Structure 1
Amino acid sequence: MASDKISNILRSLPNKPGVYQHLDKNGKILYIGKAKDLRKRVSSYFTKSHDNARTHMLVRKIEDIKTIITETEFDALLLENNLIKEYQPKYNVNLKDDKTYPWICIKKERFPRIFSTRNQVKDGSEYYGPYASVKVMRTVLDLIRQLYHIRTCKLALSEENIDEGKFRICLEYHIGNCKGPCEDRQSEEEYLKDIEASRDLIKGNLNSVKKMLTKQMHTLAEELRFEEAQKVKEKIDMVEKYQARSTVVHPTITDIDIFSVTTDAEYGYVNYLKIIDGAVLQSHTVELKKKLDETAEELLEMTIPEIRELFQSTSKEAYLSHKIDLEIPNLKLTVPQRGDKKHLVDLSLKNARYFRMEKLKNIQIVDPDRHVNRLMQQMKQDLRMSEEPRHIECFDNSNIQGTNPVAACVVFKDGKPSKKDYRHFNIKTVVGPDDFASMEEVVFRRYNRLQNEGEPLPQLIVIDGGKGQLSAALKALETLGLRGKIAILGIAKRLEELYFPGDKYPLYLDKRSETLKIIQRLRDEAHRFGITHHRNRRSKNTFKSELDQIEGIGPATIKDLLSKFKSVTKVKEASQEELTEVVGHARATRIIAYFAKDQKQ
């Protein structure tokens, strides 16, 4: 059975690829594993019975679980490989250095070769990878050789050797796989252009390659060489599917610290990634309680020295998510704007955000009051309010082609629905489909009644609609003398813009924002509640309309008939005797006569 701590961790795990670490009571790593779906894989340790004694013993020792999210399952596999080699956990199979994944090397030499290797030599050559799939790597190398004719021989093609005529072209030249730089039949400048194009292919810049292959495929098809065209199409499919290099590991980034921060109203979360020899070897996230509404930059400034001391980092360079005003001796601080360095910072941010989500879920489970207080503070900050929106009301209109217009008001208290306070409105003063006038009516009626009855007013009103509906609601508040006393905003459906009174431009909140999610939930709940009422009212009117046409048959009689027969159709089919039992002889005769006359017409 999992402990309460483990159970809370399992509930908050994402359905994303990544690496997990099982820790014992002393924080020592017992086991490192990868997963295509972290939630499913890690949960399986605690939900399945284990026949293997070692697995059973492992599960009994687990006291904590740490995770690192990756972009793909390949990335998780590579990161798992690096971490196991670094920590050598007790329950993992030992990974030796000769079991490493292959790389693609662009050799530092005149007329560089491109080939695969499992050993990196620090001679200035470029290494790309590692590749978790050898098939993918070979596909890349085959494409390069077919497209750019890079040499495969190991000849020392110095300028002197070529001038002295030491070499002769080989079979590779005659079959079209090489352009003969050994006999100076290809210039170094032209050759290096092919190397640059090959480098782009390895890095994943595939558009030019796909265009070239597509053109080649069409040419072959026009020449009726369909088998060859099909082979080229298969290459295009492979190019589109393959992942050229790991987003976790990069050959040119070595001994680097990466710091990122994400914040909410109460807390900041700083993630640290340690990169050594091109591999992520450490991921650590800390939670910081704000005291004086510190900025993200200030949180980074106070955390970086502490984390570097904790992990005894001696890196000379660090990549950051935010620019900070801090000088650390012998440390260069950079905020990458694009490319692989920026991608690693984004990966760090992803882990910081996941840590925050995990903490919030646990807080919601074990300390709901703290969760509500934090959420209200966040909404106050995001919506620029003077007080927390503990009581929110949202309005939505419903009508179809102007018939049976209704409106709904839903109420949220402390961020949760208060269904006993929901209200329906039948539009009384508006004729035809006029959403603006309908909104003005229901807002006026709602708050006029609350004022008359001495009931508390909300801190925030949300209007489902853009500027038009918001203006109509404002007009009602102004009539009641409430404008400026209650915060109000409108939410437009298309791009989820938030409109505020007197503000020319809408506010766009991050799609991951809890504030936006609460407002969206309010809007959706108001829409659901209003549509349900509208549908019921429309059905009720349609249902009773035919019986209403019978002279001498009133609402009470209709209610008795439908209670007995359930539908107008069954009333039509009922006999004189059956109707008499329910409504008496006189009314039964009128009903029979009405439907008989209707059938003749």
Structure 2
Amino acid sequence: MSADKFDSSKFLKHVTTEPGVYRMFDAGATVIYVGKAKNLKNRLSSYFQKNVSSVKTQALVAQICNIEVTVTETETEALILENNLIKEYLPKYNILLRDDKSYPYILITDHKHPRLTMHRGKKRNKGHYFGPFPSAGAVWQSLRIMQKIFPVRQCEDGFYKVRSRPCLQHQLKRCSAPCVEGFVTDEQYQEQVELVKKFLTGKSQDVIDLLINKMEVASEKLHFEDAGFYRDQIFALRKVTEQQNVSGTIDEIDVLAFSSDKGLASMHVLYIRDQKVLGSKNFSPTVPANSEPSEIVTSFISQFYLNGVGGQNIPKTIIVPPETEELEELAAAIAQVRSAKVELVKPQRGEKFKYYQLAQKNADIDLATKLSDGRAISSKYKELCEVLKVPKIERMECFDISHTFGEYPIASCVVFGPEGPTKSAYRRYNVKGVKGGDDYGAMEFALNKRYKNVESAENVPDVLFIDGGKGQLNKAEAFFSDWPLEKSPIIAGIAKGEGRKAGLEILYLNGGEIEIDLPPTSLALHLIQHIRDESHRFAITGHRNKRNKAKTQSILQDMPGVGAKRRQALLKNFGGLQGVMAAKAEDFAKVPGISKQLAEDLHAFLHDKD
């Protein structure tokens, strides 16, 4: 089906005037745009007028082959449905808020003696979650602060369960040692947990008031040690509160600011809770060409709060940029998510406007940084093209091998495009069938894994960097000597210079016959160093993971005839791996589920390993 076959006049005759959501499809039945409307007929008619000024709308209409509508009871329902569909289909003509990071939370677990810890990912663990926080650093800072104030354990459950005496944290007065009897009662420990919950919900003053009351009660009862403990908590909490306070009276507010230029956009969100700056974060929405600022801002706010990116703790007041449209509809939709009234405000003066100016300054700085980085990358690519004498470079790949004295070898391949690293295209390969320490063989293995099934020239890099000298370069060139495709990469070896110092690298081409020694100030050299360092980082990370996994893998996992249940029975009966290693064949035979023959086989296996 082509776009020309879509009969808009016939379609519009039957469209309802009620509110709802519409989905536009291209020739491949792919959703290319999702929108909402108070009046579906009027909104959809506007796309097919003769004089449409928006270039983006013209491009969109040219690809429409079909339109489907869903009627809703209210505009608010339409807004919520629109966001759900955008999240599901990711249409290319919609403003897309892409933020795939797993935001960190603080978790208080649901145990007899709850643990205070950081959590990422799906909320599978039972307990109370607080957040999200703008970064892991903000979480760890908060945990360190609370450890000094509230003696609630932060240790791993495994460490907690096996304690027979208090650890160093108790001696430092940072844990009340609930793991050992006699140091804190369950009621006292739970009291501290409840104080932590109040503190994390921004009720610092309430916590201080409770502690003051407890200190006075303890003093009246002549429990001076308890009174001193509460006094120290109050002092520490007040000190922290003073450090975090900002000069304001607003208890709960989010402040959003917007900046855009040259097709890039930045949204900055400032979090204020209990008169404190809880944190801030920059976001970079994917912006289709020729998008209006009002559309970018409105779509960001909608997706940020309705799709859960903004977290569960939505404030009652949200400061929004002047470009924001549909304030009442947005507020009504967000209120449904919050289950309470929400006010969206465009500030003009006073304290809220000061917060907005701060957020706007951060958004402008973030955008300037992005634009600067883009220009720098463009200049580096341009200079590298001049060095390699090619008209343009669209795709570069770099290989590196990492191992420890030949053990646990890993090969990495990183990919760079015109805008920098393309991390979704990165690959690691477990090197197999190659003698330990044979870097040439490992390189040949990795190249074969990467390119043996390549059929399209689009997946062939313009430049292939090999982290190594002439030997690795020759291996790579030999691999491509009988390359079946018309397009083949320029292959360059990156050799470390004298003293292996950065800035002294030598670039080898044509089997090492051509040596290029770039000056330390060269932008092309900086780009080469970047892709080489990224390849090395990616390889060594994979190597360390493989090595650590091998170190932690029990020898019992290799024992023939021993599955998970028998392995668990052996460890339980002999008190651990050392007991298993010291056991005799007849001892194995006494374990339920282990026959006499299997016991002899296991004993022989262990001694063969020795």
TM-score (norm 2): 0.32
**Rg larger for:** 1
TM-score (norm 1): 0.33
